[in-house]
Amino acid sequence: MNHMVEGAYLEDGKGASNWDVFCHVPGNIMNNENGDVADDHYHRYLEDLKIVQSLGVNAYRFSISWARILPRGRFGEINPRGIMFYNEIIENVLLRGNLLGIQSFVTIHHNDIPQELEDRYGRWLSPQIHIIILWCFGIVELVRLNFMHMKHGGFIGIVADALMYKLLRDKEWDRQAVNRALAFNLYW
């Protein structure tokens, strides 16, 4: 999630995300900590990429913060400094990836959205959210039509992220609890 990695809270035109706002409410987070600096990936991404390279891994996954690209969600201007930041990351990942076989995975939505969308729609619970989902399908189609043919390769898909649960005790009610948790988080 960008909030835990990027830092650079409200820097270079970034808007507040739902997590920025949540973490700034006293008592919501232990010791009233927040993600204003976090891992400071925004300022240290080149160092982070060198670490990835030194580990010898073949994949690098990062997220694009909607609040950094579109500070007011769909209600406002595109932030050119946010676009430039992600372009620099992508260019550096491609450069290293081509030389060292590192494949990048870009996540478009990783649980943070511009606060304005949270305020207007209540996140994904709004009956109007289908408009946003249709907009996302439009973006996917735009990428396929305009970029997939340019020898960049790649594909568009979904990341299914779920927790795994195990029995605390070998009892029937524990098995039922594990099954309920898995059904809620993974089997939908």
| Listed residue (81, 96, 4) closest to 46, CA to CA | 96
Q: Decide if 50 contacts 34 (C-beta within 8 A).
A: no
User: Mapping DSSP to helix (H, G, I), strand (E, B) and coil, where does residue 109 land?
Assistant: coil
Q: Nearest 5°: CA angle at 182, between 176 and 183?
A: 85
CA nearest to 105, candidates 67, 155, 55: 155
Residue with tokens 């408009």: 131
Q: What is the pLDDT of residues 80-136, one digit of tens each?
A: 999 999 999 988 888 877 777 788 888 887 888 889 888 888 777 788 877 777 877
In 3-state terms, what secondary structure has residue 94? helix
> Residues 127-178: pLDDT tens digits?
887 777 787 777 778 777 776 665 666 677 777 777 889 999 999 999 999 9
pTM of the predicted structure, to 2 decimals: 0.78
Task: Find the length of the chain.
Answer: 188
Q: Residues 40, 44, 45, 50: is their CA dihedral positive or negative?
A: negative
